[in-house]
Amino acid sequence: MKTNITANPLETGTDELERFALEECVKRQRFDRRISVLILPDKRGEMAIKFARLGAQVTIADTPEHRQGVEGRILAAGLRDEISFTACALPAVPETPEDAPFDIIVIRRGLCVMPYDEARRVIRQLLLKLKIGGKLYISVLGLHSELGDGYSAGDLTIDQRFATLSPALAGKYDIQQPVCLYTERNLFMLLLEAGASVLRTLTTTYGNVKGIAVRV
């Protein structure tokens, strides 16, 4: 049964998942003063600035057209030494030094624009960018959100579920490409199959799905 709440299902404000990630950063600061965070993407730099103000070293991975705007906001915030920008967009995974894995990786969106099998491959690659014990925070668009209304692949299994939204919703949210929409169980299995240890999953008020996993 779909959630018919009309609020934006692409919500990216300070939600519960972001709060969990920021709290994890604070906890790690008690034991290690060199906390590193990767955010994919963060086109306004807002989340990166929050992490940097907690003392983390942050890398933003986003498309090249957002570089100038992000770097301008970083400079205005006085955090040029704490935040760096790398031009990269999923399914590509940013290059990182092998001796400097991340404590925290946040995927705000992007996995849904690829089929399930490719998303699983990307998660496996990103897990290798985490330290052992590092945590992955991920948000995906929900099958039971407004976006699922009229979605032609809604009755297919997750490995086959990749289609365009209904014309009305594709126009409303400017999502013209095919997408894979997830249930909470789908995200749990994605993380598990990719080799992560799943700590928790949750569904938002608007029907989107979020999860937290750890590299073991």
Q: What is the residue range of 171's domain?
A: 16-214
The predicted structure's pLDDT at residue 146: 95
Residue 34: how many CB atoms within 10 A of its CB? 11
pLDDT at 3: 39
Is pLDDT above 90 for 37? yes
The answer to whether position 110 is within a domain reads yes
User: Cα dist. 174→110, 153, 171 in Å?
Assistant: 14, 19, 5
Q: How far apart are CA 80 and CA 60, in angstroms?
A: 12
Q: How many domains does the chain have?
A: 1
- For residue 1, being part of any structural domain is answered with no
Find the range with the poorest average confidence among 82-96, 141-155, 163-177.
82-96
**In the predicted model, what is the mean pLDDT of residues 60-67?**
86
Cα gap 61→39, rounded to integer Å:
6
Please indicate, yes or no, if residue 153 is contained in any of the structural domains.
Answer: yes
CATH classification of the domain holding 165: 3.40.50.150
Q: Report d(CA 72, CA 163) in Å as an integer.
A: 36
Q: What's the pLDDT band for 97 if we cut at 50, 70, 90?
A: low
What mean pLDDT comes out for the span 72-87? 88
Compute how many other C-beta atoms are within 10 angstroms of the C-beta atom of residue 19.
Answer: 10
Task: Report if residue 5 sits inside a domain.
Answer: no
22, pLDDT greater than 70: yes
pLDDT of residue 69: 83
Q: Residue 36: inside a domain, yes or no?
A: yes
**The token pair that represents 97 in the structure block:** 């030094």
